[in-house]
Amino acid sequence: MDEYHNGNEGSFNSEEADNIVKECIENVVGGEDYSQSQVNKWTASIVERCLTQLVKQGKPYKFIVTCAVMQKTGAGLHTANSCYWDTSMDGSSTVRWENRTMYCVVSVFAVAIA
């Protein structure tokens, strides 16, 4: 296990963010089936909840949360991200979730302030 020697609160804790995000997804689309009319509401809701929960941590970070919900039809999807930032303080976390009828991919990027 690596030791973290940061002067301030510490670098971004991706595990904690993972748990927060998983919980938010479960709460919003937990037992639902994919529905074209509701998906807009769902993505907005997931993203907002994740953001509010992350902010409650009280850390000096700017957050970017993205959510993609896709219907399961056997189609393929690839996602990649590339970041130019300070690796000691900034971090990201991606959570992939699925149920019988849809995929949900949520990414959180945390960028430190000063």
Partner 1 sequence: MSDQLKDKHQRRERRTVKVPSDGSHGVRVKEATIRKNTDSVSIVSSMDELGHHDENTRMVVTMENTYQTAPHKRFPVPAVTHILKDVLSSYLQQEKYEVEWSQKMTKTICEVIRARVKDLMIPRYKIVVLVHIGQQAGQSMQMSSRCLWDATTDSFACYSFTNSSLFGVATVYGVYFE
Please identify, using beta-carbon distances, which residue of 15 and 31 lies nearer to partner 1: 15
Structure tokens at 71: 């219907």
* 2 is a contact residue toward partner 1 (CB under 8 A): yes
Residues 21-40 that bind partner 1 (CB under 8 A): 22, 34, 36, 39-40
Answer for the pair 91, 110: CB distance below 8 angstroms, yes or no.
yes
Distance (Å, whole) CA 105 – CA 114:
29
- Alpha-carbon distance of 56 to 78, in angstroms, equals 31
Q: Does 5 bind partner 1 (CB under 8 A)?
A: yes
DSSP state of 95: E
Closest CA relative to residue 90, chosen from 55, 58, 64: 64
Assigned token pair, 53: 């929960």
Note whether 1 binds partner 1 by CB under 8 A.
Answer: yes
Q: By CB under 8 A, what part of segment 69-108 binds partner 1?
A: 69-97, 103, 105, 107
Applying CB under 8 A, which of residues 8, 27, 33, 68 lies at the interface with partner 1? Answer: 68
Contacting positions for partner 1 (CB under 8 A): 1-6, 11, 14-15, 18, 22, 34, 36, 39-40, 42-44, 47-48, 51, 54-55, 62-97, 103, 105, 107, 109, 111-114
